[in-house]
């Protein structure tokens, strides 16, 4: 069985790593091949840098068609909020060629469960520009009394990927937390801080600390963890008699810079040796966005 996980960068590696760890604990995963395919076309140009939503949709559609034609996965996981919110607008989504699961569904479920349980909490959705522009989470989450605000965090994913110390993340987050709080008519007493970009989970503690420094009771919500649980529950048709061990490959159109690899090593070294090994041995495919 071949499972393809994709993200615009390395944030979704946390999902791949979480799935690897969960399978190892359960002594499962034989006969499964996980492909992590980087959907970013160039290290210098990400989806959020494109001028319009239509450009992002066209580029992602091109990637999906090319990746499917090249690798024929049994299912695809979009471990990226930016790309999940535009998936339904792609031509590929209309073709119904393969099962596709996006992280937005897990994110909405996580927020809804917590808001239903803690009625006195408000919610900040920290996310990329694409996700906040689409206004996906506020539209899909039903809050009786809670206030929901979206906070765009330009450059935060890049800072987390390039600086595992957290210093760059903290500097930016101090600004974004204040901008988010300024959106409330009344200062909230308790908040859920939803991590609407898979990169953010690597520095979840900084989110927690920065919010609490404002004197606000805070719970961080990371949908990466719930997505891993959902994926694990869906893997019911793995071969029981396969002698092939779990395999993980990392594929990208460009060579991931060493500074990002070093950051991932610090984030994932304790939990995901196969995921890290795949990143170390990355497969660079220059025509990855071109169909076979």
CATH number of the domain that residue 127 is part of: 3.40.50.1860
Q: Clarify whether residues 118 and 180 are in a common domain.
A: yes
Q: Contact 122/188 with Cβ under 8 angstroms?
A: yes
Q: Does residue 290 form part of some domain?
A: no
201, 271 contact by CB (below 8 A): no
Whole-angstrom distance, CA of residue 92 vs CA of residue 267 = 33
Question: Is residue 239 predicted with pLDDT exceeding 70?
Answer: no
Rounded to two decimals, the pTM is 0.93
- Do 39 and 120 fall within a single domain? no
On whether both 199 and 124 belong to a single domain, the answer is yes
Q: How high is the pLDDT of residue 45?
A: 78
* Angle between helices 103-117 and 223-234 in degrees, nearest 10: 120
State residue 254's pLDDT score.
Answer: 96
Tell whether 291 is covered by a domain: no
Quick check: 220 and 195 in contact, CB under 8 A? Answer: yes
d(CA 26, CA 105): 25
Q: How confident is the model at residue 18 (pLDDT cuts 50, 70, 90)?
A: very high
Residue 143 has what pLDDT?
Answer: 83
* 191 shares its domain with 272: no
pLDDT digits (tens, 9 = 90+) for 102-124: 999 999 999 999 999 988 899 99
Same domain for 98 and 230? yes
Higher pLDDT, 30 or 254: 254
Q: What value does the mean pLDDT of the chain take? A: 93
Nearest to 5 by CA among 65, 78, 58, 64: 78
235: which DSSP letter? Answer: -
The residues with which 3 forms a beta bridge, in sequence order, are 34, 75
Are residue 50 and residue 149 in the same domain, yes or no? no
- In this prediction, residue 241 carries a pLDDT of 54
Residue with tokens 């609490």, as numbered in its chain: 212
Q: Could you give the angle at which helices 258-268 and 273-280 cross, rounded to 10 degrees?
A: 170
Burial 212-223 (b: 16+ CB within 10 A, else e): eeeebebebbbb
Instruction: Count other C-beta atoms under 10 Å from residue 142's C-beta.
Output: 12
Give CA–CA dist 265/116, Å, rounded: 37
Domain count, the chain: 2
Question: Distance (Å, rounded) from C-alpha 35 to C-alpha 107?
Answer: 23
Per-residue pLDDT for 261 more than 90? yes
Confidence of residue 63 (pLDDT cuts 50, 70, 90): very high
> Based on the domain organization, do 95 and 143 belong to the same domain?
no
What are the tokens at 100? 């596709």
Range of the domain at 32: 2-103+225-284
Same domain, 263 and 207: no
Phi and psi angles of residue 276, each rounded to the nearest 5 degrees, phi first? -65, -40
Sheet of 283-284, strand order: 99-102, 75-78, 2-7, 33-38, 247-252, 283-284
Residue 257: inside a domain: yes
């Amino acid at each position: 069985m071949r499972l393809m996980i994709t993200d615009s960068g390395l944030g979704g590696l946390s999902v791949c790593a979480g799935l690897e760890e969960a399978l190892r604990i359960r002594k499962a995963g034989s006969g499964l091949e996980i492909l992590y395919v980087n959907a970013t076309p160039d290290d210098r140009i990400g989806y959020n840098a494109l001028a319009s939503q239509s450009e992002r949709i066209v580029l992602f559609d091109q990637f999906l068609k090319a990746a499917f034609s090249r690798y024929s996965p049994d299912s695809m996981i979009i471990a990226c909020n930016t790309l999940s919110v535009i998936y339904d607008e792609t031509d590929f989504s209309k073709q119904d060629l393969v099962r596709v699961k996006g992280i937005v569904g897990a994110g909405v479920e996580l927020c809804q469960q917590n808001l239903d349980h803690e009625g006195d909490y408000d919610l900040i959705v920290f996310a990329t520009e694409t996700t906040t522009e689409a206004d996906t989470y506020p539209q899909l989450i039903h809050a009786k009394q809670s206030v929901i605000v979206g906070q765009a965090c330009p450059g935060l994913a890049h800072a987390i990927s390039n600086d595992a110390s957290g210093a760059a993340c903290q500097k930016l987050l101090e600004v974004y937390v204040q901008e988010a709080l300024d959106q409330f008519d009344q200062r909230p007493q308790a908040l859920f801080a939803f991590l609407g970009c898979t990169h953010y989970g690597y520095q979840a503690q900084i989110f927690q600390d920065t919010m609490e420094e404002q004197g606000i009771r805070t719970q961080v919500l990371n949908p990466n963890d719930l997505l891993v649980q959902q994926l694990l529950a869906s893997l019911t048709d793995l071969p029981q008699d396969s002698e092939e061990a779990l395999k993980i490959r990392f594929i990208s159109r460009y060579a991931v810079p060493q500074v990002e690899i070093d950051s991932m090593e610090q984030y994932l070294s304790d939990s995901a040796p196969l995921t890290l090994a795949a990143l170390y041995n990355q497969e660079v495919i220059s025509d990855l966005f071109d169909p076979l």
